[in-house]
Amino acid sequence: MRSGRGVRKLVMDDDAVGGTVVHLWSVRHRHRTDGPCAEVLSLTREGTTATVRLVFRGGEGRFVPDGFLPSGAVALGGSAALNLHEPGVVRAFADEAGRRGLLHGPAELDGWDLFPQVAARRAADG
């Protein structure tokens, strides 16, 4: 069984370049002494060092692994939960970030801003 800690590849069509683009991705847990813990989905376009980090900070109605949820789980209270270790979920976040022009990094972005659209897309793909 894979540990979930390694870097994985995501191959995507990219109309802007007229072919495919490969993103390297990983999920990490970030502990903070001055605030809530966070799950971080990192996307790096292969061949570059520009990394886009989607950060999911825990807080009021926003749940991240804290000893009760498994690694990679992010959830909005009562509405939706996603597993950042699932390639389909990562693809949906990459697609949404790409539509918004956010994958040209480097950047650290609030992943919760993309969460509702990605959760709705995943539910529709069902």
User: pTM here?
Assistant: 0.87
- What is the domain partition of the chain in residue ranges? 8-125
Alpha carbon 71 to its chain centroid, in Å, reads 13
pLDDT, one tens digit per residue, over 39-72 is 999 999 988 888 999 999 999 999 888 767 788 8
- 12, 23 Cβ separation under 8 angstroms: yes
- Provide the token pair at 108: 């650290």
Structure tokens at 78: 């009562």
pLDDT of 87 > 70? The answer is yes
Per the model's pLDDT, the better-predicted residue between 54 and 5 turns out to be 54
Question: Quick check: 78 pLDDT over 90?
Answer: no
Closest listed residue to residue 21, CA positions, set 46, 55, 1: 46
- Is the pLDDT at 1 greater than 70? The verdict is no
Query: 107-110 and 51-57: which strand pairing?
Result: parallel
Task: Calculate mean pLDDT across residues 80-104.
Answer: 93
